[in-house]
Structure 1
Amino acid sequence: MSESFATSQTTRLIGSAGALQLDQRSFAFRAGAVVLGTLFLALASRIEVPMVPVPVTMQTFAIAMIGALYGARLGTLTVLAWLGEAMVGLPVLAGGAGGLAHFAGPTGGYLASFPVMALLVGLLAERGWNAERPLLAFTSMLAANALCLAMGGVWLAGLIGMEKAFLLGVAPFVIGGILKSALGAASLVALARTAKRGDAQ
């Protein structure tokens, strides 16, 4: 198989804008992708380091990846579906938690930011901030993580005050956000390379 054809096939799979172009698939395929996405988010939520008042998890990594791979529309829908599962009590949040109480407590602002994160990363991926431009992919995920911390911090400040909110709900998560953004960009590059090798065979 020629290099140019392999590159074309990779672009089709990963998407010229960095997404899987799921909008071009059938409704059943997209519905299945949403279900798989919610499972991925639930599994990522299980990877946690307990902290007070908000635990460190791999949720934001998973959300950024969903946005980048699924695109803005389906990525946002997938995150909303996952949050809907949490609202009805399914154990899909950090530590296997679920229920409406988590949307009104200290984590409420972070949870509200998650669909916006997916939307932001998806929109930027559709504009070329993707595996072909790893630094821009990293930047988009970092911006999404910063947005999450900003929204979560503002909500938390209303509960415990601005200073405590920053010290407990923002500052401890900055380095993690940077590392997860780098991991997300590296994962996109790895997926693109894997797809390219598969097309070349």
Structure 2
Amino acid sequence: MNASATASLKPTFSPLDLQHRPLAWKIGAVIFGSLFLALSSYIEVPMFPVPMTMQTFAVALVGALYGWRLGGLTITAWLVEGALGMPVLAGGAAGAHHFVGPTGGYLFAFPIAGMAMGWLAEQGWNGHRVGLAFVGMLISNAICLVLGAAWLAVLIGVEPAVMAGVVPFVFGAILKSALGAATLKAMTRGPKRAAE
């Protein structure tokens, strides 16, 4: 079996298969993805100084489904919307000041976390390998927590940042990672073969 035949039997990393779609599809995906990210921001458990939302779930899922390039672009577009004053951040918040406040590190971590999950999904850590997808989702969540807490530590100190910005979110990160992996598995219908 030659290399092209082998490639045609390889499952795509995402059921959306956006890397092979025309530009109009990709533009639509960015719009839909930023809307999905915005909606995830409204699912919130108020906490101080950082609220718990479904944002990390959405960020990792967008990365996994869109791939690292388009996923990173989509997440960045959503953050730009928030910075420009659209009510798309946690709880409907908006404005550039959120990027220098207590949540700033988490916001800047989102594209990195999504791109990391997207890259891992492209390497096979996706719905075809649900265990690896779960680990990838955990890594994505961990990136958000580590970078978010690092910025928070600049504002309030290391120990308070860990206690307020990491510890309360660990269990939620595990649950959201499991939900993300299960979502990928549910969306994956088996190996997708290229057209003959």
Q: Same fold (TM over 0.5)?
A: yes
Match of 2:171 among 171, 175, 196: 175
- Give the 5 Å matches for 1:104-123: 104-123=100-119
Q: Alpha-carbon deviations, 1:78-117, whole Å to 9, x = none?
A: 0000001001000000110010000000000000100001
**Structure 1 segments unaligned to the other structure (5+ residues):** 1-10, 197-201
Give the aligned residue type for 1:120: A
1:125 paired with 2:121, answer yes
Equivalents in 2 of 1:181, 1:141: separation in Å?
5
Query: Counterpart amino acid of 1:94?
Result: A
Inter-partner Cα distance in structure 2 for 1:136 and 1:19? 17
CA distance in 1 between counterparts of 2:19 and 2:74 reads: 13
Deviation at 1:19, TM superposition (A): 5.6
1:6 aligned partner: none
Alpha-carbon offset, residue 22 of structure 1: 1.0
**How many pairs align?**
184
Residue pair 2:15, 2:187 contacting (<8 A) in 1 also: no
Please give the alpha-carbon distance, in whole angstroms, between the structure 2 residues aligned to 1:146 and 1:32.
29
Aligned ranges 1:18-29 → 2 under 5 Å: 18=14, 20-29=16-25
**Inter-partner Cα distance in structure 1 for 2:126 and 2:140:** 14
* Partner residue, 2:82: 86
After superposing on structure 2, the runs of 4+ consecutive aligned residues of structure 1 that deviate more than 4 Å are none
One-letter code aligned to 1:67: G
Structure with greater helix share of residues: 1
Matches within 5 A, 1:35-50: 35-50=31-46
Farther off after superposition, 22-31 or 70-79: 22-31
8 Å Cα contact 1:66-1:75 kept in structure 2: yes
Cα deviation for residue 27 of structure 1 reads 1.1
The alignment status of 1:95 with 2:71, answered yes or no, reads no
Match of 2:4 in 1: none
Residue ranges of structure 2 left out of the alignment (5+ in a row):
1-8, 192-196
User: CA offset at residue 21 of structure 1?
Assistant: 2.4
Q: Which amino acid aligns with 1:31?
A: I
Q: What is the alpha-carbon distance in structure 2 between the residues aligned to residue 70 and residue 87 of structure 1? A: 23
Q: Offset of 1:20 from its aligned partner?
A: 2.4
Aligned partners of 1:46 and 1:95 also within 8 Å: yes
Taking the aligned partners of 1:120 and 1:19, their CA distance within structure 2 comes to: 18
**Cross-structure match for 1:150:** 146
**Percent sequence identity over matched residues?**
58
Structure 2 counterpart of 1:118, one-letter code: G
1:187 pairs, out of 178, 183, 186, with 183
Using the TM superposition, give the Cα deviation of residue 28 of structure 1 relative to its aligned residue in structure 2, in angstroms. 1.2
Residue 188 of structure 2 aligns to a residue in which SS? helix
Question: Alignment RMSD, CA only?
Answer: 1.7
Distance (Å, rounded) in 1 between the aligned partners of 2:120 and 2:87:
31
CA shift for structure 1 position 120: 0.3
